[in-house]
Structure 1
Amino acid sequence: MTLSKRHAAVAVAGLAALIVLAVAGRALSSWPWSPPASDQLTLYGNVDIRQVDMAFQAIGRVQELRVEEGDSVKAGDTLALLDPDTYRDLADLARARVEAQRVALQRLQTGSRPEEIAREKASVEASRAAVIDAELLLKRRTELLKTGNVSRELYDEAKNAYDTARARLDVASQVSRLTEIGPRQEDIDQAKAMLSAQQATLSMAEQRLADTQLKSPSDAIVLSRIVEPGAMVGPNTPVYTLALTDKIWVRTYISEPDLGRIKPGMAVKIATDTDPDRAYDGWIGFISPTAEFTPKTVETTELRTQLVYRLRVFVRNPDARLRQGMPVTVRVPLGN
């Protein structure tokens, strides 16, 4: 074999080897396989921003502001006061009306006193005596009229007096009977209904008075003070903005391929860029049932076009170094 033929054979063999390698590489690249799963997931997110605008439920002039920006407040702390004079007067008026109606109801429920019954009976006896006197006078003038010793006018006068006395006796008897029976049940029920209405009015007045105090709904930090003392405010006028701190959680996202590797309740470690060596303990509290595109605040180059699921990770024993909006890294140990 000549040298040129040997070179040609070597070239053909090399070309064949390259073709075999290329075919093998293509076959391997199309073979389904997965990289080995890591024993830890690393997620990126932010401490969730939870803030609330605080406003009075009443209308009035701001009397006092008790906290400043940056102050820490506890649930139930008084933040600000409105001028309460008008609302206090309305509450006092409603309270007086309740007491008056309560007395009126008690009087109806108690019924007539023995002295009142005795008074009406005495009135009946007096009316009966007047009837007897008028009847005697009428009889005398009737006899005299027959003999012509009295005028018709005097007779008519005695007759009218007798009729009037009888009518007064009937009225006194009816009043005495009603006094003994006492108030009607319908009157008592009406008085009860009026008392309930007055009590409801008092409750609203007292609530409006209480609404002149603006209280913190939860442990928080004052982010901003929006108005000044003396300003007129109402339910639509925020006075403070608070950042709630009673519970701290992290909002982060996980890609769909890793979704099946986590579940609510799993323990996590949370670190900040400020102090990466200081890890906070936490747990996964919520996994969103719906997918969304990765938010711009946490997207990475690999996740820009992927759908992800939102997670809420609760922080156990947080401190003041975890501030709202701070970027954090969440590591989820997966075990074996």
Structure 2
Amino acid sequence: MKNIVLTSLALVSLLALSGCKESKPEREIVGKTKKEVISFAPKITGRILTIKVEEGQTVKVGDTLAILDVPEVSAKIAQAKGATSAANAQVLMAKNGATADQLRQLKAKQKGLQEQFQYAQKSYNRAKNMYRDSLLSPQNYDEYFAKYQGAKAQLDAVNAELHDVVIGTRFEKIEMAQGQQNQARGALQEANVAYSEKYIIATNDMEIETIALNKGELATAGYPLFTGYIPQTSYFRFTIPESKIAKYQKGMTVKMFVNYNKKEFTGKIVAIKQLAKYADITTAFPDYEPEEAIYEIKVVPENQQAAKDILVNSNVTLK
């Protein structure tokens, strides 16, 4: 009899606990307000000369955010300009060929060597006749012959040089000079582009949230100097457990309630994705079983203009 009473009491207790569990109210789904983030970083390293904006300011495309001091770029521009001027002169020299004075000098040189050759030729002919009549020694004959050959070689050389000048510079030399010219122009263009990068220009509208450095500090290339939000890109992010995700479909229209300003918004679900295990706890009030998969839904408000002033990371309740 005692055992029957204990068993009855246990069953009553179990039923009472089950009733309490079933009567537990369902927790509301709370998410966060987000905006698309953008950063601006310099392409070159330089010291910050001026910061033109402040935190909290809204900037437009083309606005100057900061100016860097990059003295090395100015030196590179000077070097590139000098190399370009020299290359341009080389191209002109190659195309124009020899000057009139150079041509006159070569002709005068040709005339002088021609006279020497004629004299050496006459002397060699006389020496040859004398050698045939045994009036000249072999040694002296060889000397006259060597002078004749030397004069002939010098005349041939100046004739070839004059011919090269008359017909103009070789095509290969002109191509080489033009290649050096293009290379110098490319270096100058690169230096000018680097100089323009001293100005950090906004490439997108942005609400500036943080400015990482101050005037006088060194900004390295690629370091995010300005970070902020793209205007009118507000969206709401909610974490939904597997047991409740069936209620929501991509493209569905839902209602949300912003907790801090008591405003209600209507939005459309644009994305549903599963979160990795290490990112499961992404809501302030997790309410799911450990074995459940966790999904994140992204809701974009229908009226972006009305949602633009909502504070980022504020709590939003999904209706």
Using the size of structure 2 for normalisation, the TM-score is: 0.69
Task: Assess if the C-alpha contact under 8 Å between 2:211 and 2:226 holds in 1.
Answer: yes
Q: Which moved further from structure 2: 59-68 or 172-181?
A: 172-181
- Corresponding residue of 2:7: none
* CA distance 1:254–1:170, shift in 2 (3 Å): same
- Equivalent AA in structure 2 for residue 131 of structure 1: F
- Asked whether 1:94 is paired with 2:75, we answer no
- Equivalent AA in structure 1 for residue 54 of structure 2: E
1:329 alignment partner, SS class: strand
- Equivalent AA in structure 2 for residue 286 of structure 1: A
Task: Assess if the C-alpha contact under 8 Å between 2:259 and 2:315 holds in 1.
Answer: yes
* CA distance 1:235–1:102, shift in 2 (3 Å): same
- Corresponding residue of 1:15: none
- Asked whether 1:68 is paired with 2:54, we answer yes
- Asked whether 1:170 is paired with 2:156, we answer yes
- Equivalent AA in structure 1 for residue 316 of structure 2: V
Q: Deviations over 1:108-150 (max 9, x none)?
A: 4x46479599655675455434422432355467678999999
1:283 alignment partner, SS class: strand
- Asked whether 1:46 is paired with 2:32, we answer yes
Take 2:83 and 2:179, find their aligned partners in 1: how far apart are those partners? 13
Q: Deviations over 1:1-40 (max 9, x none)?
A: xxxxxxxxxxxxxxxxxxxxx9xxx9xx9xxxxxxxxxxx
Take 1:273 and 1:95, find their aligned partners in 2: how far apart are those partners? 63
- For residue 244 of structure 1, report the CA deviation from its aligned partner: 3.7
1:284 alignment partner, SS class: strand
- For residue 253 of structure 1, report the CA deviation from its aligned partner: 2.4
| Structure number, greater radius of gyration | 1
- Corresponding residue of 2:311: 323
Take 1:217 and 1:183, find their aligned partners in 2: how far apart are those partners? 50
Task: Assess if the C-alpha contact under 8 Å between 1:220 and 1:246 holds in 2.
Answer: no
- Equivalent AA in structure 1 for residue 310 of structure 2: L
Q: Within 5 A, what are the aligned runs for 1:291-310?
A: 292=277, 294-300=280-286, 302-303=287-288, 305=290, 306-310=292-296
- For residue 87 of structure 1, report the CA deviation from its aligned partner: 0.9
Q: How many residues get paired?
A: 290
1:174 alignment partner, SS class: helix
2:304 alignment partner, SS class: coil
- Equivalent AA in structure 2 for residue 285 of structure 1: V
- Asked whether 1:202 is paired with 2:188, we answer yes
2:229 alignment partner, SS class: strand
Q: Deviations over 1:80-132 (max 9, x none)?
A: 11114331231232244234334534654x46479599655675455434422
* CA distance 1:320–1:277, shift in 2 (3 Å): closer
Long gaps (5+) in structure 2: 1-10, 19-27
Take 1:282 and 1:239, find their aligned partners in 2: how far apart are those partners? 33
- Corresponding residue of 1:286: 271
Task: Assess if the C-alpha contact under 8 Å between 2:45 and 2:70 holds in 1.
Answer: no
- Equivalent AA in structure 2 for residue 317 of structure 1: Q
Long gaps (5+) in structure 1: 1-21, 30-41, 332-336
Give identity over the alignment, percent: 21
Q: Within 5 A, what are the aligned runs for 1:253-292?
A: 253-279=239-265, 281-290=266-275, 292=277
